[in-house]
Chains A and B, each alone.
Chain A
Amino acid sequence: MTPLLRMEGISKRYGGVRALEAAHLACARGRIHAVLGENGAGKSTLLKIAAGVVKPDTGTIELDGAPIALAGPAAARRLGIASVFQELSLLPDLTVADNIGISDPPTKWGLIDHRAQRRLAEAALARVGATDIHPLARVRDLPLSRRQLVEIAKALARDPKILLLDEATSALTAADVASVFRVLQKLRDHGLAIVFISHRMTEIAELADDCSVYRNGRHVSTFVAGSKAPTEIIEMMIGRDYSSVFPSRSPRSPGPPGPPGPVERSSDPPVLKVTNLSWAGRLRNIDFEIRPGEVVGLGGLDGQGQRDLLLALFGALTGVRGSVAVNGVNVTLSSPQSTQLRGGGIALIPEDRKTEGLMLPMSVRDNLSFAALDQLSRFGFIDQAAEQTAIASMIQLLRIRADGLDGPVAELSGGNQQKVVIGKWLMTRPQIILLNDPTRGIDVGTKQELYQLLHTLAADGAALLFYSTDYAELIGCCDRVLILYDGAIVRVLEGDAISEHNIVAGAHNLATAAQPAAEPRPPGRPA
């Protein structure tokens, strides 16, 4: 049957970077098509072209056999192509109803008919199971997971023929994800064509009918979902041999041998000791310590205080009660500047690298040296030679790939950008490293490099506190996992006890370790 959407020979360059090279994609009616590939593979660009946000340099797009030219997002929408991207297209200061009806709202006498629009919004929200969202609420006041739901509701409100999703569920809670998947499957059965990008193999396994893999802007392969093994798929994506993702840390994880030797549980005094930490009702009596060389993970459902804990330890919160001791000495963390301590200090790899970790228009070099400026200067004057040497060695260590190190860091791929953020902090030689979901939206290849890096840092004596929404990461990287629920630590898992089952149980604050669930559950997102 003729595909509903067919893209052929699509090429797109951004300055010197080739985002897409003669790529093609075809999706049929009533099929869910997964698009896979590393960051920089061109997946987002391909979808943005289909959505009319970006214009291709060459190539054709056909809708139901007829060629179309998309002048902009409005044109795509009119043709029945709806899209949800990672950068949400919601207007924060407008209401949910206004957002859902933002393009082509129902009108009466030339003006917007707010009542009809509200009915439209309520229907759209109900369709995705978001009945707890009030149509008159301002989007700005909603948490990220609700916003993503509104975004999806908005896309579906127009009864599109094709739905494009780019990491559209990254911030959703598990219940929401399940609910959205049900809706998508139902719509698929009614003939909707869905193209979606995801870095999560579990999502792909659950949802996709067909898969296409891209690498370096080119199409590699298209196949029916389930016909290839995950390792095979990953190898297609990164184009090289794919061995264990996580360096082995302790006897608990059998498998191909990784870097030499497990890290011995040291008996040194703790680098970080947190006692009775509380904040604004969102963190309650947190007690834990980290020894040098330990990687401690924060687990639990999204929004239980994990991110707040990291911010508290970095001095970005006020009204924090309790005490924090570094190397046995109590410290008052009143601002990020107070994290600069003898012995290395505390570093934070923040939640959003684009707005919190980097100055996008500034060069890669300037970004790298930014946090260490005080150490690289005398009496306020920057020691240029020392700065360049430090930068060069960091670039080498992290294998940061950039065409122009003097060019703006905005031009780098997501994975390389995250490396710059980490490199910036490594230049301050921190003793304690806090990581806020560092591999979100990063491709498999770079993730692997980052895991290796974390392992090396721990082996060198740093103490790591690592928040991740990915269970596989917590299991693969951490010596201990603290499960947070409602701002308090409800469970501490160590060594062999760190398993997906226990993490899930702890996350839901289930007191006893119940029997594992009947049906096999793939690792990754919570139940």
Chain B
Amino acid sequence: MTIGGLFRRIDRALVAATGCIVVLLIAGALYDRNFLSPDYLLQQLQVAAFLGVIATGVMLVVLLGHIDLSIPWVVTIGGMMSTAAAGHDGWAGSLAIPIAVASGLAIGVINGIGVAYLRVPSMIFTLATNAIAQGLMVVHTSGFAPEDHATPAMHALAVERSILGIPNAVVVWGVIGAGTVVVLKRTTFGRRVYAIGNSERAVYLSRGNVRRIVVACFAIAGACSAFAGVLLAGYSTKAYQAMGDPYLLPAIAAVVLGGTSILGGRGTYLGTVAGVVLVTLLQSMLSIMQISEAGRQVIYGAVIIVMLLVYGRSAKVVS
């Protein structure tokens, strides 16, 4: 595969994802004129921002060749910790967001240690930490829906629009995204992330600190998930049980549809952005058209498969 081929491969994902977005927009507009209104599109971007923040962390982990199945309950922890801290007067209240993000970061670090130092396969280790996170939250809330409310700051971040009418959530996503792009393209850290996805062994023998980088990526993923939980809690002004569950499959799908290989070592953030927008639009469209849940699931799955058949196929084993 020459550089042209490589470009074609990644571009293909971006082109296909963008093309699909355009198709969805047109189809939506045909169904309901309001679909293309700026207001509606901005609202879609706002919803996409929540998924986008989660997908950022997922992408880093997937680039390494791993996966993070602890997203559902780390998101929930983010929501519940921030609202719980908000319930306290004084300094705890103003630190609601950092506390939540720190909780997510901590779980991410544990994930990283399990995967990098204990060498447990990431799928199974993050599965276990997800169960522990759930257990912690069940204990914390005694099984009930928490009564705590989000802080005004959280609400402002998630819902309000400050700059040029663009939702704050989108701006936040943009900032996080820009930072991620810089890190991936311009830093030694980013270069090594891609390399680890290609060959851990070669990176180790080239003086790369593989373990620390893996822990860092899982930590960032945990922080992103928790932060998304904060935003979600801000959006609905409260946290609720299993609020992170609906985001696991879409996050993975968004990353993969954006051209990131599930095996690691390949992918662009722009592709992930396209994937996130695609998934969000698809879900919105399906609910607008009032297709039954059954139909939505089938279409959702079918779209992923068809898209991947276009640009997500592995090479043949035969030379």
Contact = CB atoms under 8 A, between A and B. Distances in A.
Q: Do chains A and B touch in the complex (CB under 8 A)?
A: yes
A515 interface: no
B207 interface: yes
Interface in B1-16: 1-3, 5-6
Given A366-B191, A377-B188, A381-B186, A360 B199 contact: yes
Nearest to A408: B1
Contacts of A350: 205
Contacts of B186: 381-382, 384
A99 B195 CA distance: 33
B226 to A, nearest CB: 24
Contacts of B209: 335, 337
Given A336-B204, A339-B207, A359-B202, A370 B2 contact: no
B200 to A, nearest CB: 10
Interface string B189-230: 101101100110111111111000000000000000000000
Contact of A359 (B2, B188, B199): B199
Interface string A202-224: 00000000000000000000000
B202 A373 contact: no
B319 interface: yes
A348 B205 contact: yes
Contact of B191 (A16, A314, A373, A403): A373
Contact of A380 (B189, B198, B265): B189
B284 interface: no
A53 to B, nearest CB: 7
Interface string B164-204: 00000000000000000000001111011011001101111
A356 interface: yes
B238 interface: no
Given A316-B205, A336-B207, A359-B203, A15 B187 contact: no
Given A355-B199, A380-B188, A336 B2 contact: no
B314 to A, nearest CB: 13
Contact of A362 (B187, B194, B201, B205): B194
A48 B319 CA distance: 10
Interface residues of A, number: 43
A407 B5 CA distance: 9
B3 to A, nearest CB: 4
B1 A407 contact: yes
Contacts of B2: 15-16, 403-404, 406-407, 411
Main secondary structure on chain A at its contact with chain B? loop
Interface string A365-386: 0100011011001001110100
Nearest to B7: A406
A434 to B, nearest CB: 11
A472 to B, nearest CB: 27
A54 interface: yes
B207 A340 contact: yes
A373 B192 contact: yes
A336 B3 contact: no
A373 to B, nearest CB: 4
A1 to B, nearest CB: 33
A355 B201 contact: yes
Nearest to A357: B202
Contacts of A363: 3
A316 B206 CA distance: 11
A16 B189 CA distance: 33
B266 interface: yes
Interface in A427-468: none
Contacts of B191: 366, 370, 373, 382
A371 B206 contact: yes
Contact of A361 (B189, B206, B266): B266
Contacts of B189: 380
Interface in A288-337: 314, 316, 335-337
Contacts of A382: 186-188, 191
Given A380-B187, A382-B187, A407-B2, A357 B207 contact: no
Contact of B195 (A335, A362, A374): A362
A366 B194 CA distance: 10
A360 B198 contact: yes
A424 interface: yes
Nearest to B195: A359
7 contacts: A355-B201, A362-B195, A366-B191, A374-B207, A380-B188, A407-B3, A411-B1
Would you list the 6 A-B pairs with minimal beta carbon distance, nearest first? A406-B3, A359-B198, A373-B188, A371-B206, A407-B2, A336-B207
Given A337-B207, A370-B191, 10 more contacts: A54-B318, A72-B318, A339-B207, A358-B199, A370-B195, A370-B206, A370-B208, A373-B192, A377-B187, A403-B2
